[in-house]
C-alpha cells in the first residue's frame, strides 16, 4: 500500500484509483496501472498529489538518506502519523489504520478524526458553538 495525499478539493478518479481530498491508501498494483496515465502525469507534475515519505539510510552511510514512499501508517513517526490522520476523511482508511497501528497516541488521533468526520454538519456547528461558550 502507498500513502498518497490529494491536494484537490474534489474526488479524483483515474482507472481503479479514487483519491479523496486528504490522505489515501492505494494498492501498489493499482498505482502501477495509473501512474503512467497522461492525466495522472499532469496532476503529479502540478503537485496535486504528494507522497508521505519514509527516510532510510543507504549503504551504511548515516549522512546519506534515501526517501521512499511510506507504505503504512506505522512507517511514520507518531507526529507524522497524527498529521496524516488529521488530513484523512476516508472512514475505511481510518478504520484499517486503527487495526494496523497499535500506538496509543495514534489510536486516540484516529478516534478523534472518526468522530469529527462522523458528525453531521448541523451537529458539528452546534458542538463548535458549545465549545466557544
Range of the structural domain that residue 56 is part of: 1-71
Last residue of a domain, one of 53, 71, 89: 71
Based on the number of CB atoms within 10 Å of its own CB, is 106 exposed (0-12), middle (13-18) or buried (19 or more)?
A: buried
Give, for all 133 residues of the chain, the pLDDT tens digit: 788 899 999 999 998 899 999 888 888 899 999 999 999 999 999 999 988 654 443 444 444 344 555 667 887 889 988 988 998 888 888 888 899 888 999 999 999 999 998 866 555 555 556 666 6
Angle, helix 78-86 to helix 104-118, in steps of 10 degrees: 10
Residues 66 and 1 in one domain: yes
Q: How many domains does the chain have?
A: 2
Residues 49 and 1 in one domain: yes
Residues 28 and 14 in one domain: yes
What pLDDT score was predicted for residue 96?
A: 87
What pLDDT score was predicted for residue 62?
A: 43
Amino acid at each position: 500500500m502507498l500513502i498518497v495525499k490529494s491536494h484537490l478539493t474534489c474526488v479524483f478518479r483515474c482507472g481503479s484509483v479514487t483519491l479523496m481530498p486528504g490522505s489515501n491508501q492505494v494498492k501498489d498494483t493499482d498505482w502501477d496501472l495509473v501512474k503512467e496515465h497522461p492525466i495522472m502525469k499532469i496532476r503529479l507534475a502540478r503537485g496535486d498529489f504528494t507522497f508521505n515519505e519514509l527516510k532510510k539510510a543507504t549503504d551504511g552511510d548515516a549522512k546519506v538518506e534515501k526517501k521512499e514512499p511510506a507504505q503504512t501508517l506505522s512507517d511514520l513517526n507518531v507526529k507524522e502519523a497524527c498529521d496524516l490522520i488529521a488530513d484523512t476523511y476516508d472512514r475505511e482508511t481510518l478504520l484499517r489504520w486503527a487495526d494496523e497501528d497499535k500506538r496509543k497516541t495514534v489510536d486516540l488521533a484516529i478516534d478523534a478524526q472518526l468522530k469529527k468526520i462522523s458528525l453531521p454538519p448541523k451537529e458539528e456547528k452546534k458542538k463548535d458553538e458549545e465549545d466557544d461558550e
